[in-house]
Amino acid sequence: MSGKDFTQISRRSVLKGATAVGALGVLAPAWLRAGAAHAAGMDGEVITGSHWGVFYAKVDGGTWTEIRPWEGDPAPSHQLPGIMDSVMSPSRIKYPMVRRAFLEGGAGASPETRGAGDFVRVSWDEALDLVASELKRVSETYGPTGIFGGSYGWKSSGKLHNCQNLMRRMMNLGLNGAFVNASGDYSTAASQIIMPHVMGTLEVYEQQTVWPVVVENTDVLVFWAADPVRTNQIAWTVADHDNYPYLQAFKDTGKKVIVIDPWRNETAQFFDAEWVPIRPHTDVALMLGIAHTLYEEDLHDSDFLDEYTSGFEDFLPYLTGESDGTPKTAEWASEICEVPADQIRDLARLFQSNRTMLSSGWSIQRQHHGEQSHWMLVTLASMLGQIGLPGGGFGLSYHYANGGAPSANSIVLPGIGDGGGAVEGAAWMTDAGAASIPVSRVVEMILNPGKDFNFNGKTQKFPDVKMAYWVGGNPFSHHQDRNQMVEAWQKLETVVVHDFQWTATARFADIVLPATSAYERNDIENVGDYSARAIVAMKKVIDPMFEARNDFDIFADICERLGARDAFTEGKDEMAWIKGFYDAAAEQAPARGIEVPAFDAFWEAGILEFEIPEENRQFVRYGDFRDDPLLEPLGTPTGLIEIYSKNIEKMGYDDCPPHPTWMEPVERLGGEGAKYPFHVDTAHPSSRLHSQLCGTKLRETYAISGREPCMINPVDAEAKGIVDGDIVRIFNDRGQILAGAMVTDAIRPNVIRVAEGGWYDPAPGGEIGALDTYGDVNNLTVGIGTSSLAQGNCGHTALADIEKYEGDAPAPDVFSAPAEG
């Protein structure tokens, strides 16, 4: 295994709070050498928050010098030092910049030069005048379908400086809602559409059976394509890390843990779990093989199926093969998923004879036909009959933002509104194109204006978008089929981006506005997506660097040029908005039987914590439904778990049948006509949040030969003549990347793993198909939708080949700012 084993670094850091705190002190000098951030404000230490947790920032002599975790964090993330470095990394955007060809030739000029780094520095007034004039021009010329404002991504934490809401607020108030929006997300798009049909609720972002119940009652804990030890480092709000003590507590019980995943992930290593190295993309087949064994051996819970589910009798002919001539036996499943048939049968018996929790990650629904994965997981859990029992059933969020951490009796903060909601306000746009698209169809939309697309029972047309406005995200990282995306971006007339680092998305823009980081402004946020056990004052650490400005102020100035400044600001400044959010939340306190301090006292203290009631430590998901399905029905048409959906049947989609089904993806290992010999596993990184912090010194703790690491099994490495530390080229028909080889038996044969989120860095010249010199794995993934139902992304569908790179490899240069013109 490579000397730069970032899985081990992460495990040590996130699981032992004291060790993690010590590690920050050890690492801090490296970030300071990169160039510390200078503050014009007072010296001292302030508390603030981030996706990685609550922390203290020390400012000494006008310089941000240290970062240390909040003492209430049970498992601080080892990524915290990257936050400090991000504020003054070489990739920082310092000034408003405009692409030279755009500035000299106008909108749409030489689009092929996007990404080439040829920018000209302009003043803020010039930049804002350009943005406002383009918004007016495109809106007046092309109507309400001309501007795409469905910007998506992991914006910074905070209730006020939610740049995506602020952007839509500007467009709703300044352009009367005349823009194209987006729905869904890249994380759970397939599940958040299929689960309401099956369970009557979104499921993926909802509270799980809480961890104290799991520790006490679960006998067999199955992590199916889930890696909570790694992914619970981060949260959408401010991470609480409350799950880590429970992970340790479950480990201490010595009870059975099984990890089903193509690589022996950090959770498998932590628990020393039984590892089932499934062939990627075949999870539904394995579930069907287990389900068939349960039925064949009369181990299924027929009473639960009769009382709590609908449609099992319509699914059964498919399971037994009566309807298609193919019984979904363990042997049948084994041929597809490469898990031995005897092991499949053993899993069925083990699950049935023990209280079993099936904890699934989201990767298995981010693939072609991804809707089927969680639908079949629910069907399998229904056959086991343990849904609603303490420690049994299934969960889809134990790996995300510390889902399953007991909820506090807390007040919940509101946030800045978007000013009206473009989808509702622009329903009249239908004739010219959809008012909103599934978010991951953005490239397909740009390339195919007027084309029909299906989505959850409706057929609409893609609008003809001419301008894209992106804030708080990096689509040139999270979107699939990078070269197709470059092609699409060349069709746009105008692209505007706000960011504080020179991501690839910023490099492919026409107008780039330098926004502040979350640490150069004030805000407020809940701590814990699921626990909500505190509210933190996100206090400004340092004044804005260079010419960076808050998104709120940027959009207020644009609205002034559009005649809507007063409507946008409502006459309130930053602290007035923050106080308003706190005071509104405080009104909830009497009904909850708690007292909270006045705002000024809270702000001075910096954090307000809440108690967790004992009853919340005993929460069992679907417990009420199990106790009385008539009085506590689900939100489905039948009020029951829908194994067979008549609503989906009515849609008539050939790529999403009305019951969970094994469907061949567009490409997979072992699939007919598979063109390439390796599946590319695109799991989340261990030392960044998607692409966030990739542009910091933290990268030096995991990069191999200056590139994104590529895990490869020793058998495959030997066959390819690759050794640890080699620079390798990974390629298919869609694209090619360089990466650094990590030879390890933690990955199964015929699978290579390159984490998503590496910054896209095409070799000089930048033409479509150029070699990516750092390792953005989405050069290789397919850009199609999961199915006509959900139209989610297929970020885990990719076959490729790998070879040792010969010759002098071009050095990545994406981690420094383009030269100023």
Residue numbers annotated as active site:
152, 154
Residue 322, judged by CB atoms within 10 A of its CB (0-12, 13-18, 19+), counts as exposed
Give the residue ranges of DSSP H helices in 697-740: 714-720
DSSP conformation class of 49:
E
Q: By three-state DSSP, how is residue 494 classified?
A: strand
> Rounded to the nearest 5°, which phi and psi values hold at 197?
-70, -30
With CA atoms as reference, report the closest residue to 754 among 806, 792, 707, 693: 707
Give the residue ranges of DSSP H helices in 606-757: 623-627, 646-651, 714-720
- Token pair belonging to 279: 């062939």
Residue 684 is which amino acid?
H
Residue 641 is which amino acid?
I
Q: By three-state DSSP, how is residue 92 classified?
A: strand
Task: Tell me how far CA of residue 766 lies from CA of 59, 109, 111, 262, 762, in angstroms.
Answer: 41, 17, 12, 33, 5
Contact 244, 18 (CB under 8 A): no
Instruction: Compute the distance between CA of residue 642 and CA of residue 309 in angstroms, rounded to an integer.
Output: 6
- Strand pairing report for 799-804 and 709-712: unpaired
Instruction: Compute the distance between CA of residue 372 and CA of residue 614 in angstroms, rounded to an integer.
Output: 37
Instruction: Compute the distance between CA of residue 450 and CA of residue 433 in angstroms, rounded to an integer.
Output: 7
Given strand 393-395, what is the order of strands in its sheet? 274-276, 256-260, 220-224, 356-360, 393-395
Contact 169, 555 (CB under 8 A): yes
Instruction: Compute the distance between CA of residue 780 and CA of residue 401 in angstroms, rounded to an integer.
Output: 28
Instruction: Compute the distance between CA of residue 36 and CA of residue 21 in angstroms, rounded to an integer.
Output: 20
Give the number of other CB atoms < 10 A from CB of residue 481.
23
- Token pair belonging to 691: 């692409």
- Strand pairing report for 63-69 and 44-50: unpaired
